[in-house]
Structure 1
């Protein structure tokens, strides 16, 4: 995985934080001109052919994500232009997003996933509003500055409306950050997520991917000699809604395996006995150490799960 950065990003003195973050990740990065100024893209080395062998040539494929850094003044200027032209656009035609986005390919057939980042918008607006208040106090004959740029009058509500418009019509998100440190952390998180995507995609195609050994915090390793079977049974009981670890442990202690529970159900003479078989099992609560019973609701749900042949049966009617 290689992070490709436009040279325009390095013109800001805060870019040192980004370089340090990428260096700490021990990932490859390169500084090369991008199609979009001040943007970041990602490339992954893939086999050049279907047959993968040692020493086979690799080709760099560009990922779909594109992260674009936009200056606060530029963002407000484009937003103001969009507002000025929006009143003359029919509702069914949609807005011209090229007025607010620093790119022209969003409304085409591009498969790229664009996201914008604006650093220091709040500080920029506060500074300019403070400057406006100072200028008001200066008499005109003492060289008062000309009227401020009209884009500085953009309100928070108008910004939020523009964000919704970008998301709905351009499938583009905008992230507002205060510092370059936050921007560096965001780039690091995106880099890790993009790097892990093929693994997660392959993991989702495996049968019973939710039970991967060592890959999931709730997964349980079962040895050939049966070690771990009781823990797997307890984890399975915890999949029921509103079942704590203590409740699952109490049931597993009374019936250490599903087969033993099925045998207990077979010994019951009536269906009512089966439904209430687990209801009297005592559970010690974690809060105060007092004991309480499993109760008829969970007992009923466990029995229906173990005995029913209907795959569409709703076990928890209160969910």
Structure 2
């Protein structure tokens, strides 16, 4: 509910939605230009947030805390992006994997019946292709951020941290072993390589021509698009707003579907991605349940027990254990 005398009338909501629609409509139409398309997609994510206005909770301390946590989210998301680029560059220099060990799973993936999702490709139309490429490219980046903005305007700052851990940061860290030691290629690439077909890269025009993009074709299991989409769905289903629940659930089911429809992921990649996302969210929940202030106090106390008695300060003298005790 809206607090502190803040009231959004239906007229205000209508004007916000109208302005948002106009802004999206008049954005420069540059085909396959990620910057404008991502801005457009991000603005679309604001619709369900504005329509959930009755759950808005404006309270200054919560807003300030939410903005700080949102800053953490953005910084850690950019950090994971840098880690990802570093990892791709490392793979170019070390094609045989970490410690010269790598498991090649292409034969296994191709041997599972219906695993290539070719049955979905029969539904392909230019319009569907365009739609699924659109949500595949931009949904991976912005869906969790959209939820964070909803948490900000509804006075739920701790959920921003939960989304930060579960949505990107922990996922990028925990998936690194698969990137270092598991090698499996995208479906369209294998179809061309093994069966002499001529399928076009579905993300042609979005992939960069720089070297780090090459190893990304080798990372299919588990599907990280699926794992992040599963986390987004599970987080959205925890909210009271039906608009948030329905919009983010349907959108992210579409993102999961797109990975097979576009010939990028194998069906088994989706199963692995869903399980991976569920487990990462559980880990993030555990992290958020910990009282870190109390835990740190316990660590300080345990550290104190290891100090020699003759190193302890004299009675009534100030005790300093760490450098920040002077602050």
The TM-score normalised by the length of structure 1 is 0.21
Structure ranking higher on relative contact order (CA contacts 8 Å, 6+ apart)? 2
Q: Which protein is richer in helix relative to its size?
A: 2
- Quick check: which one's strand share is greater? 1
